Amino acid sequence: MSAAQAAGAGHSEDQEFAGELGGFVLARSAVDRVSERRGDTEWIASAWADTATRVLVLDNGHALVRFGDKEAELVLVPASEAPEGLNFLLGVDDSGVRYFGVMGPPGCLEQAAEEAPRQHSPEQVAAEPEAPAGEGPAQQAPEQQAPEQVAAEEDPAEQAPEQQTTAEQAAWLARAKPGLRVAGLREAAALLGDRDAGLFTHAVALANWHVSHTHCPRCGTPTQPIAAGHAQRCPADGSEHFPRIDPAAIMLVTDPDDRCLLARNRRWPQRRVSILAGFVEPGESAEQAVAREVEEETGIAVSRVRYVGSQPWPMPQSLMLGFRAEAAGGLDLKVDDEEIAEAHWYSRDELRAALAAREILLPPPVSIAHRLIESWYGEELPGVW
């Protein structure tokens, strides 16, 4: 099963919760979040003491993952084996197992990988090399939002498979070989099952928020986690603060001939293209953001803006809202030259030919962009990413 097929495996189960497209890789789950338990300290303590409880340990947004040939699973540990750190309740599954996440100390996962049973060769234990910090694609998160300065989802810097050369592609494929290693959501999510994809996404989103929001915005006092890690309280003034999520609109625009608009951000490598995206601004609806971003970046006026589904993109804290839109007037593309380097209309045949000739590279299956392009294309996208 390919990564794309693995990603699609969740379609039927999650369809009732999904938008019309469904099946987004990071929009899956198999646990009940039991939000009503977050304030029940007795229940939390007994859940933590339960030997059946499982804990997902995070180190800088990464987790220990056991990769098989075509699938992967998180390495979850009993609470007694989890490192010290801020923890949060993630949920309860159908058989009653409780799940927590823990923000472990730096380097804790490399150590755990070393100590794990030797069912892998040593080189496969090495941590994923730290990717250079991307500057973000069409939009940038404010500086203080780091850990990763990537707001929308098409950041090529950490996407790894730029595949400029066959040597790079070979290196990427080698990384995906079976074994136990530390990995991020981008690398692992499409291979994980519904339970693990949901746990990982939930935990990374909370961890990113705690890392970047440590003090009260009213008075500057260090805040304390409450609600099983899902909120913070200021001990000085009692104010409560909740995880911040940045909505971003991402849109597939078509023309009257049903050609699809694809663009390359100035910061992306050569050949990488995707659909347009941008943050929703204060005082603006998601649909207004779609129209504004398309016009700003390509000069195209759109109509019939239609929501098709969403997925969290906690890198560090976005929620991607997927849309379709149609070019309403002229089709001449005038790129803004600040964010967009080039943009073109593609028919399905032209896209197939451009991919076959390796003239362009599409975003990987983990992205909502991939699914939106695939839904327009009508079948599984050919090629690599």
Q: Is 214 one of the binding residues for Zn ion (CB under 5 A)?
A: no
- At closest approach, how far in Å is the CB of 151 from Zn ion? 27
The Cα–Cα gap between 338 and 228 comes to 43
Return the range that interacts with Zn ion (CB under 5 A); candidates 159-167, 213-221, 248-256, 349-357: 213-221
Handedness of CA 189, 191, 197, 199 (dihedral sign): negative
Helix (H) or strand (E) run with residue 321 in it: strand 318-327
- At closest approach, how far in Å is the CB of 209 from Zn ion? 17
Chain-centre distance of CA 378, in angstroms? Answer: 23
| Residue 262 burial (10 A CB sphere; 0-12, 13-18, 19+) | buried
- At closest approach, how far in Å is the CB of 226 from Zn ion? 14
Count of residues in contact with Zn ion, rule CB under 5 A: 7
Q: Which is nearer to Zn ion, 227 or 333 (by Cβ)?
A: 227
Q: Is 168 one of the binding residues for Zn ion (CB under 5 A)?
A: no
Q: Which is nearer to Zn ion, 171 or 236 (by Cβ)?
A: 236
- At closest approach, how far in Å is the CB of 234 from Zn ion? 3
Return the range that interacts with Zn ion (CB under 5 A); candidates 75-83, 85-93, 172-180, 234-242: 234-242
Return the range that interacts with Zn ion (CB under 5 A); candidates 33-41, 143-151, 231-239, 317-325: 231-239
Q: Which is nearer to Zn ion, 237 or 240 (by Cβ)?
A: 237
Nearest to 312 by CA among 253, 252, 261, 243: 243
Q: What is the CB neighbour count within 10 angstroms for residue 247? A: 15
Q: Which is nearer to Zn ion, 232 or 367 (by Cβ)?
A: 232
Helix (H) or strand (E) run with residue 302 in it: strand 302-313
Nearest to 319 by CA among 7, 4, 24, 21: 24
Q: Which is nearer to Zn ion, 218 or 334 (by Cβ)?
A: 218
Q: Is 221 one of the binding residues for Zn ion (CB under 5 A)?
A: yes
- At closest approach, how far in Å is the CB of 211 from Zn ion? 19
- At closest approach, how far in Å is the CB of 214 from Zn ion? 12
Within residues 235-254, the interface with Zn ion by CB under 5 A covers 236-237
Q: Which is nearer to Zn ion, 232 or 311 (by Cβ)?
A: 232
Q: Is 216 one of the binding residues for Zn ion (CB under 5 A)?
A: yes
Single residue of 234, 325, 354, 369 touching Zn ion by CB under 5 A: 234
Q: Is 123 one of the binding residues for Zn ion (CB under 5 A)?
A: no
Cβ 228 vs Cβ 89: under 8 Å:
yes
Q: Is 219 one of the binding residues for Zn ion (CB under 5 A)?
A: yes
Nearest to 24 by CA among 287, 290, 313, 262: 313
Cβ 326 vs Cβ 304: under 8 Å:
yes
Cβ 326 vs Cβ 253: under 8 Å:
yes
Contacts of 274 (CB under 8 A, 6+ apart): 154, 262, 263, 264, 265, 362, 363, 367, 369, 373
Q: Give residues in contact with Zn ion (CB under 5 A).
A: 216, 218-219, 221, 234, 236-237
